[in-house]
Chains A and B, each alone.
Chain A
Amino acid sequence: MEALKLELKNKIITTLNLEDIAVEDIADTDALFGDGLGLDSIDALELIVILDKDYGIKLVDPKEGKTIFQSIESMAAYISANRTK
């Protein structure tokens, strides 16, 4: 699980072009949206693409994203339980 969390932090920084943010700046429980990492709605769509492309998870109900993308911890837990690749 720790390796997956680190992988997700790296993917988020690279894919979402978070130029001034390092892996160590993101705590596992930090909010990804709002006052936390400050991601926006386009970033949310990119996270859905990451789930699909890298872990074989298709989000059928976009509303699920609110819970899944709360933090690195919630993302890692969801991916671990549902990944197909």
Chain B
Amino acid sequence: MTQKTNIQSYITIQNNEIVLNGTSVFKIEPTDFADFSKQAYRNFDVQYPKFFKMDALSKLAFLGAELLLSPITSGEQENNIALVLANKSSSLDTDVKYQESISDQENYFPSPAVFVYTLPNICLGEISIRHQLKSENSFFIFDAFNTEFMSNYSNILLNSNKADVVLCGWVEFFNDDYKAFLCTISKEESTKYTNETINTLYNQ
């Protein structure tokens, strides 16, 4: 029997601001994403030096996941949280940077640290390592946030007991233009967002 699923929490990161469950929790004067993400990391006192080695897409996904998953994950027990993310530009921002770094045959020194981020699903790996997840994860590429697909996919994972919680959403980054919308969905009763669909919250 298909059980109703509910959005438990959601987060939006765009325009130098982080909004958690409808409340602005971090906002700074306009700056580039590198500076914004570093300041956000410091503001939330995240202790994870590997953050600084990540590419922009992974930093964006990591920050969103950090605020949603830290309160509900524990290092002592297995966290059966599936990750289902999507975006439009894949890892193109890093792909372009990597391509530029290897375009000069006279100065050909490919960077392994940049190369490892030339796939969009690497951000899922970063989140999984951080929160000790060994669960289902998928990254999709769409022209726009396909809320129906993402919602259906998450519901299937929950109703087939593949996951207790699904972290689902959109993480788009290209040329310093970014937006992340992530939400946690589970079968747990929730009165917080009963009438809102992912689409409504995404477009807020």
Query: Which residues from chain A sit less than 8 Å from chain B, CB to CB?
Result: 15-20, 38, 42-43, 45-46, 49, 52-53
Please name all residues of chain B whose beta carbon is closer than 8 Å to the beta carbon of A16 when the two chains form the complex.
Answer: 53, 113
Judged by DSSP, the binding face of A is helix
Judged by DSSP, the binding face of B is helix
**Smallest Cβ-Cβ distance to A50: which chain B residue:** B109
Contact call A49/B49, Cβ cutoff below 8 A: no
Contact call B112/A52, Cβ cutoff below 8 A: no
**Smallest Cβ-Cβ distance to B107: which chain A residue:** A53
Contact call B53/A45, Cβ cutoff below 8 A: no
Nearest CB of B to A52, in Å: 7
Nearest CB of B to A69, in Å: 14
Contact call A49/B112, Cβ cutoff below 8 A: yes
Partner of A17, one of B52, B110, B112, B116: B52
Contact call A20/B49, Cβ cutoff below 8 A: yes
Partner of A42, one of B49, B52, B109, B113: B113
Nearest CB of A to B37, in Å: 11
Contact call B109/A49, Cβ cutoff below 8 A: yes
Contact call A18/B113, Cβ cutoff below 8 A: no
Please name all residues of chain A whose beta carbon is closer than 8 Å to the beta carbon of B113 when the two chains form the complex.
Answer: 15-17, 42-43, 45-46
Please name all residues of chain A whose beta carbon is closer than 8 Å to the beta carbon of B38 when the two chains form the complex.
Answer: 19
Check: B111 CB closer than 8 A to any chain A CB: yes
Contact call B49/A19, Cβ cutoff below 8 A: yes
